[in-house]
Chains A and B, each alone.
Chain A
Amino acid sequence: MGTATARRPSVLRMAGGGVHFDGLKAVDDVSIEVRSGQVVGLIGPNGSGKTTTLNLLSGMLRASAGTIRLDDVDLTSMSMRKRVRLGVVRTFQSGRVFARLTVLENVEAAALGSGLGRRRARALAAGIIDELGLRPDADRRAESLTAGRIRITAIARALACRPRFLLLDEPAAGQNESEAVSLIRSIRGFAQDRDCGVLLVEHDMAVVMQTCDHLHVLDSGRTVAEGAPADVRRDPRVIEIYFGKRH
């Protein structure tokens, strides 16, 4: 189903975004931008605000400060469902598949949720299932899948929403080596073939370095570095975050 679509290039942009819980600034003044066809990595240590940033962009959390825009459309106070309809689609850290539905039903429900009719939803779901190699599991309940297959099912479900921007929260967690390699290839494919912007939150640095065009590094809810992967890995602040201060 990896058909290229002639869509106008889009930009998903958060400017000065922040979320505060009772005075605690979980994310503070973060500006991040993803363009169509680009894979942006969002990295940082545990608790640095990566998932919170993704929650802000997807609409699961309302921003306490800043704005979120998709091209000219202001998403800042828009519901998650409306953002999905505009093409801003996310996955979750733990997969969160519809456990007692089959893999096909998982993907089909998302295609229906994006507004397709029954027949088109079924065809789209079948195509995505084939594309991601889920065909042998199509009629199995999602609760019976392995961790890796659950993550792939969650990605398939997100693709069924026909995303313009795909926000992936640790998709490589629980994947074995061959699945991770295949995942890297798939994520690059989503960006190139579907002209889809991807924001990738990931701990596995090998996956991040091989997949991303641009990196954004967070620590304690604030941006500490951003740029091309090769530059970011040499940035002293990033080295300090990941390896500690050199004395």
Chain B
Amino acid sequence: MKMFASSSRSAQTPILLVCLGLLTALVGATAGLTVGRVAMVTLISLVFVIGQSTFTGNSGVMSFGHVAFMAIGAYTTAYLTIPVPLKGVLFAELPHSLRFLAHVHAPFIPAVLLSGLAALVLGLVTAPVVARLSGLQSGIATLALLVVVYNVLNSWTAVTRGSSSMIGIPRNTTTWLAFAFVVAAVIVSWAYKKSRSGLQLQASREDYWAAVASGVAVGRHRAVAWILSAFLCGVSGSLYAGFLMSFNVNAFFLSATFAFTVMIVIGGYLSLSGAVVGAVAVSVLQEFLRRLQDGEFTGGSALPAGLADLLLAAVLLIVLIKAPLGLMGVRELRLPGRRRSQRAEAAKGAAGAEGEVRAPV
């Protein structure tokens, strides 16, 4: 008799998540321009939410600041991939100490990885603070990080072009490249979840003091997850820049934060599957609502502007009321047969324990 759940069953989850990404990529590769664009943004969003979930899902600490890492990734990619002659024009007023930036150039894939590393450095700098916070304090601190990064990018005109657009970024992000990074993000995030650090961080998510009383260095593990998630979100920003070809700082502020938060909250912010399912479900829902608003399902008569956002907010409210931990809760995607047998096992266990008092946990 096997004592513990086998690791092959545990591997179901990343495989299923990759399949969900593959489905999105196939839709993107075979459908028309508009759906292809939605699929591409979904794949990039998947990299982002997987990155954020690496921190929030394992630590239970919510963050509103991860879009700052995405911004760092996007700006780094812009600097590394805009052709050097064009950079000479765009960044004519670079400070003397940063002049070398006008001459650096890298192929796209190294640029994506370097963008992730740039975000990782910001994660490294901010980790000591984030590691000490939780609950409301953490929410405010991460939001402050977003505001600080936004204001620096918006105000440091000589380096970031301020509120003007970054232009001239070559279009390097293809559907299959974005999918490849989704696969990599799933593998990295799942490996972390199953690692020593991941398990101890999940223990602290369940009960901070009990984890400390078990010798868990909660701050250290939070910092590790924060830095890893910064890297993945930086990568998503890089892919976003390579897809849009031009962007400005407003792409990385409150509306993006709200959009990603909706995905993670609707899916379930405590599980990796929740983040992935949420990103796909919200992307599909947003596209459906956009078409509804444009009159595609109402015989061509357009509905009032803003209705799509209103309906999305309503869906978020309903999910928050009916399933506060999101569609997935803390569960991960498994094949249906396994879930049935788990339920049967749980029912058997409950029957065996009949008559005993169930404890509040």
- Name A residues whose Cβ lies closer than 8 Å to a Cβ of B: 58, 60, 80-81, 84-85, 89-90, 92, 94-102, 104-106, 108-110, 112-115, 117-118, 121, 126, 135-140, 142-150, 157-158, 160-161, 174, 176
What's the nearest-Cβ distance from chain A to residue B357, in Å? 5
Which of B34-42, B170-178, B211-219 lies on the face that meets chain A? B211-219
Residue of B at shortest CB range from A103? Answer: B4
Excluding A95-B361, A101-B199, A145-B353, 7 further A-B contacts by CB distance (< 8 Å) are A84-B215, A92-B210, A92-B213, A95-B359, A96-B207, A139-B5, A148-B356
Q: Is the interface of A mostly helix, strand, loop or mixed?
A: helix
Q: Point out the residues of chain B lying under 8 angstroms from A85, CB to CB.
A: 215
**Chain A CB within 8 A of B346 CB:** yes
| Known A109-B203, A113-B200, A137-B349: A89·B359 in contact at CB below 8 Å | no
- Name B residues whose Cβ lies closer than 8 Å to a Cβ of A: 3-5, 196, 199-200, 202-203, 206-207, 209-217, 270, 330, 345-346, 349-350, 353, 356-361
CB-contact partner of A146 in B213, B214, B356, under 8 A? B356
Contact A97 B357 (CB under 8 A): no
| Known A98-B203, A118-B196, A140-B346: A147·B359 in contact at CB below 8 Å | yes
What's the nearest-Cβ distance from chain A to residue B214, in Å? 4
A sample of 24 cross-chain residue pairs with beta-carbon separation below 8 angstroms, ordered by A number, consists of A80-B212, A85-B215, A89-B213, A95-B361, A97-B206, A97-B207, A98-B207, A100-B206, A100-B270, A101-B203, A106-B203, A109-B214, A110-B215, A112-B216, A114-B214, A140-B349, A146-B356, A146-B359, A147-B358, A147-B359, A149-B353, A157-B210, A158-B214, A174-B359
Q: Point out the residues of chain A lying under 8 angstroms from B5, CB to CB.
A: 102, 139
Q: Point out the residues of chain A lying under 8 angstroms from B215, CB to CB.
A: 81, 84-85, 110, 113-115, 161
Q: Point out the residues of chain A lying under 8 angstroms from B200, CB to CB.
A: 109, 112-113
Contact A96 B3 (CB under 8 A): no
Q: Point out the residues of chain A lying under 8 angstroms from B199, CB to CB.
A: 101, 105, 108-109, 112
What's the Cα separation between A191 and B349 when bound, in Å?
32
What's the Cα separation between A137 and B210 when bound, in Å?
20
Contact A135 B214 (CB under 8 A): no
Q: Point out the residues of chain A lying under 8 angstroms from B3, CB to CB.
A: 126, 135, 138
Residue of A at shortest CB range from B206? Answer: A98
What's the nearest-Cβ distance from chain B to residue A150, in Å? 5
Residue of A at shortest CB range from B355? Answer: A176
Q: Point out the residues of chain A lying under 8 angstroms from B217, CB to CB.
A: 81, 113
What's the nearest-Cβ distance from chain B to residue A231, in Å? 33
| Known A97-B361, A148-B356: A90·B206 in contact at CB below 8 Å | no
Contact A90 B213 (CB under 8 A): yes
| Known A81-B216, A84-B215, A112-B200: A150·B361 in contact at CB below 8 Å | yes
Q: Point out the residues of chain A lying under 8 angstroms from B356, CB to CB.
A: 146-148, 176
What's the nearest-Cβ distance from chain A to residue B268, in Å? 12
| Known A101-B202, A147-B359, A174-B357: A96·B209 in contact at CB below 8 Å | yes
Q: Point out the residues of chain B lying under 8 angstroms from A94, CB to CB.
A: 359-360
What's the nearest-Cβ distance from chain B to residue A183, in Å? 15
Q: Point out the residues of chain A lying under 8 angstroms from B345, CB to CB.
A: 139-140
Contact B330 A100 (CB under 8 A): yes
Q: Point out the residues of chain A lying under 8 angstroms from B202, CB to CB.
A: 98, 101, 105, 109
Contact B203 A146 (CB under 8 A): no
Q: Point out the residues of chain B lying under 8 angstroms from A101, CB to CB.
A: 199, 202-203, 206
What's the nearest-Cβ distance from chain B to residue A169, in Å? 11
What's the nearest-Cβ distance from chain B to residue A25, in Å? 24
What's the Cα separation between A225 and B212 when bound, in Å?
33
| Known A95-B359, A112-B196, A138-B4: A144·B350 in contact at CB below 8 Å | yes
What's the nearest-Cβ distance from chain A to residue B120, in Å? 24
Q: Point out the residues of chain B lying under 8 angstroms from A138, CB to CB.
A: 3-4
Contact B349 A144 (CB under 8 A): yes
| Known A98-B202, A150-B361: A144·B346 in contact at CB below 8 Å | yes
| Known A98-B203, A114-B215: A146·B196 in contact at CB below 8 Å | no
What's the Cα separation between A137 and B346 when bound, in Å?
10
Contact B213 A104 (CB under 8 A): no
Q: Point out the residues of chain A lying under 8 angstroms from B359, CB to CB.
A: 94-95, 145-147, 150, 174
